[in-house]
Structure 1
Amino acid sequence: MPAKRFGFIRLRHLLLLSLVVVTALLVSFLRLDERAWFWLKEGQLSVAEQQASIWLPGYRLVVQGRPLAGLERDETSGLTYNPASDTLFTVTGKNPQLVELALDGQVLRRIPLSGFSDPEGVEVISGGRLAIIDERRRSLTAFTIDADTQSLDAADYPSFDLGFADAGNKGFEGIAWDALNQRVLLGKERGPLGLFSLPFPGEDGAAGTLQALPSKRAFVRDISSLSFDARTGHTLVLSDESRLLLELDAQGQPVSFISLIGGLNGLHRSIKQAEGVTMDAAGNIYIVGEPNLLYVFSKDAPVELPRQVD
């Protein structure tokens, strides 16, 4: 066989092998095999089962990458809906702040945070209080605010040590309030990845201990945010690395999912570093992703003409 032809065949084999390896790595990284299996299972759910769930395949994108004006350099993380004010709250890590947003993404106010090292999640819990989890300090701090609140200092409020002292930058990022069971749900990013519950009824801190919840079938590589839907008792799990929003039932079993990859589900571009998710009273789903962009998914709202975001 001529050397030139042999070299061509060898190159073709190497390219084919490289393609196989890259495909295998991609399947492993995004866990596409599990996702494909579940997609087939998801399609077998009855209409009644879909109606009893959040049912993410029924959502469509209505706001695509709306910039949060003034927060471009602040690295938003976490998101929660406050039914009392019909507004959203997020936190920023680089310059610690609690930020209140209108549902359309307009920044309403910014409250400086003292004594917080790396706030990663925020949630409205019982009694209208807010709770912030600090990943670096491995703590949960609960407090109340009103229209006159100008600043917050962690030293002025009770905090709960979440443990995992060696977690480093792989600690707790997701937080949600389970109003049905009066407990906080927590998502540990990874190393190991997991869901936990924490009874938190009192003004003086947490009662009870951190408890692991079943989540072995949650086919995601990390957990960046959580949201609980009291209407169904199901939990939304946001994964940045998997580019996925997943719905889990009360037993921690997957129910439905939606991909956050560009070109799918109305997204022009993938949601980069999806860091926060929440649902409002009408069931609309809000996601914040860096560089501080707001995305909204809805089952009923009219579609907004999507704007291109570079």
Structure 2
Amino acid sequence: MATPLARPSSSPVRRARFSLPWYAWSLLAAGAFYWLAHAMHWDDRGLLWASERLESPAQRQESIWLPDYHAVIDAKVLPGMEEDEASDLTYNPQTKTLFAIMGKHPFLVELTLQGDVLRKMPLVGWSNPEGVAYMENGLMAITDERKHTLSIIQVDADTRELNSTDFPHYDLGPSKNQNKGFEGVAWDPRNQQLALGEERPPALFTWKSDGSQLLKGDKQIHASDELDLRNLSALAIDPRTGHSLLLSADSHLLLELDDAGEQVSFMTLLGGFNGIKDTIPRAEGVALDESGNLYMVSEPNLFYRFEKQR
């Protein structure tokens, strides 16, 4: 006799489901948003945005005032440098050109103010150059993040290659995070000193100089308060106002400080703001010329130019 087929159970086993009440999900979402806002310093940016609205026209005129800048060259590709990782940028007022440092395969590249390549100069003997600053009379300062050193090099119209053994080196000392050392460097002509920026935790230092290859004394911690940045990628100093620009790739932010270290204005590097179509992927270098035009480079090989619109 045929065996009857088993019938499915009328009481199927139900899978256990984990669920939270709506208010628990709301608390989790609020906590996640608060953590993200704190990590990205959105609270600080909000306070700064509010304080910007209270600045008088005269005060804005006396500063760089980043909200007024608009991209006129947006993500121009530097040809042939896709694998080279742009690390910093500086402006030479004598030649009216820019110099960018490439860290992965170390070399210095001279650019026009429109981001066209004029020449490449290999950097022999550097391990991981991350910062570059034009000083005076053809001298430039270069920081090597891996070696924790600063070199002062000489560049002229005939330079085609640079060897580290030909120039003086200065020990920058240990960093709190040895893998996140000194990335930023800028020349401060008013105070005759180099400004130095440590990547993480972000910190500012100064080192006195007369504009030659000789540094005086030791580097000193800057009097500025704790920096509201996730990291510090690059520095620039405006020769007109003496104010500093601090660039943070992780925060997608450019921040202006006055000579007392107080925050003055900022510019977000997210797509849709200040004429930027797409978010700047990883901004690593910033420079200003004597007219106030602003330049930026991003990894791997993108170039930006900003001009004031008001």
Q: Confirm or deny a common fold (TM above 0.5).
A: yes
- 1:292 corresponding residue in structure 2: 301
Please give the alpha-carbon distance, in whole angstroms, between the structure 2 residues aligned to 1:82 and 1:51: 24
Asked whether 1:27 is paired with 2:43, we answer no
Shift of 1:128: 2.7
Please give the alpha-carbon distance, in whole angstroms, between the structure 2 residues aligned to 1:265 and 1:165: 34
Shift of 1:43: 0.9
Please give the alpha-carbon distance, in whole angstroms, between the structure 1 residues aligned to 2:49 and 2:226: 13
Please, which of 27, 35, 54 is the counterpart of residue 64 of structure 2? 54
Map 1:275-290 → 2, pairs under 5 A: 275-290=284-299
Asked whether 1:247 is paired with 2:256, we answer yes
- One-letter amino acid matched to 1:163: G
Please give the alpha-carbon distance, in whole angstroms, between the structure 1 residues aligned to 2:181 and 2:19: 49
Please give the alpha-carbon distance, in whole angstroms, between the structure 1 residues aligned to 2:162 and 2:275: 39
Deviations 1:116-171 (A, max 9, x none): 00000111013231111101111111111222212111111001111115642211
Contact conserved, 2:239 with 2:290, CA < 8 A, in 1? no
- 2:179 corresponding residue in structure 1: 169
Percent identical across equivalent pairs? Answer: 45
The alignment's C-alpha RMSD in Å is 2.0
Deviations 1:243-281 (A, max 9, x none): 110000000000111111112222221111110000112
SS at match of 1:210: strand
Contact conserved, 2:87 with 2:103, CA < 8 A, in 1? yes
Query: 1:239 and 1:166, CA in 2 relative to 1: closer, same or farther beyond 3 A?
Result: closer
Please, which of 207, 230, 244 is the counterpart of residue 221 of structure 1? 230
Shift of 1:187: 0.7
SS at match of 1:116: coil
Query: 1:200 and 1:95, CA in 2 relative to 1: closer, same or farther beyond 3 A?
Result: same
Query: 1:260 and 1:102, CA in 2 relative to 1: closer, same or farther beyond 3 A?
Result: same
Contact conserved, 1:29 with 1:221, CA < 8 A, in 2? yes
Asked whether 1:68 is paired with 2:88, we answer no
Deviations 1:209-235 (A, max 9, x none): 101112325321111000001211100
Note the residue ranges of structure 2 that are not aligned, 5 or more in a row. 1-13
Please, which of 195, 199, 205 is the counterpart of residue 196 of structure 1? 205
Note the residue ranges of structure 1 that are not aligned, 5 or more in a row. 302-310
Contact conserved, 1:217 with 1:253, CA < 8 A, in 2? no
- One-letter amino acid matched to 1:48: A
- One-letter amino acid matched to 1:175: V
- TM-score between both structures, scaled by the size of structure 1: 0.90
Please give the alpha-carbon distance, in whole angstroms, between the structure 2 residues aligned to 1:193 and 1:95: 25
- 1:259 corresponding residue in structure 2: 268
SS at match of 2:43: helix
Please give the alpha-carbon distance, in whole angstroms, between the structure 1 residues aligned to 2:118 and 2:169: 27
- 2:100 corresponding residue in structure 1: 90
- 2:149 corresponding residue in structure 1: 139
Query: 1:55 and 1:259, CA in 2 relative to 1: closer, same or farther beyond 3 A?
Result: same
Asked whether 1:42 is paired with 2:52, we answer yes
Contact conserved, 1:98 with 1:112, CA < 8 A, in 2? yes
- 1:128 corresponding residue in structure 2: 138
Decide which moves more: 163-172 or 216-225. Answer: 163-172
Please give the alpha-carbon distance, in whole angstroms, between the structure 2 residues aligned to 1:40 and 1:49: 15
- One-letter amino acid matched to 1:83: P
Deviations 1:14-54 (A, max 9, x none): 54344223211210111111110111111101111100100
Contact conserved, 1:124 with 1:130, CA < 8 A, in 2? yes
Query: 1:50 and 1:113, CA in 2 relative to 1: closer, same or farther beyond 3 A?
Result: same
